[in-house]
A = this chain, B = another copy of it.
Amino acid sequence: MTHENTDYVDILRTHGYRVTMPRMIVLDAVCAHEGHAAIADIQRLVYDMDPTIDRSTIYRALDVLVEVGLVVESDLGHPGKVYSIAGEANHHHLVCLQCGKVLSIRRDVIMGLKAQIHEAYGFDLQADHLTLNGLCRDCQSKKPPHSL
């Protein structure tokens, strides 16, 4: 996935951040990885492009990229977080608490909720990339329904 069409330079600047080599390389790494990239994936890709970039710099770059909305961070349950490009992140995740399976659902599924919350609380839900937990179809049938 490329991000050539995105004005990530402007996005960083308007948020008051500087455009630096490490940040662009980290962004490239997230782009280069299909689907969800774990930290280990990103670190490896970044290292291939520039071995001098430090681990801590990668963490900090990811934080910045997430904050400005270029990258999306998800906690899928298992240790460590995963990252994906915000552009292709117009979907949300259903993570099964039992088997760990990850389903992707269409973005508009939560649009009703977003509107509802905004009306009732004046809160503008960030609807980019949510992670919702529960039980997938298979695990529901395996484990008899115990009140959750």
Chain A interface residues toward B at CB < 8 A: 14-17, 67, 69, 75, 94, 96-97, 103, 105, 109-110, 112-113, 116-117, 120-128, 130, 132-137, 140, 145-146, 148
Contacts and interface: CB of A to CB of B under 8 A. Distances in A.
Nearest to A143: B15
Contacts of A121: 94, 103, 105, 137
Contacts of A117: 94, 105, 109, 132, 134
A77 B105 CA distance: 23
A15 B124 contact: no
A17 B148 CA distance: 13
5 contacts: A17-B146, A103-B123, A117-B132, A124-B134, A126-B148
Given A97-B67, A132-B130, A140 B124 contact: yes
B109 A112 contact: no
Given A94-B125, A125-B94, A109 B103 contact: no
Most B CB atoms within 10 A — which of A15, A75, A145? A145
Contacts of A69: 148
Given A116-B109, A117-B109, A123 B146 contact: no
A126 B113 contact: no
Contacts of A140: 122, 124
A116 B94 CA distance: 13
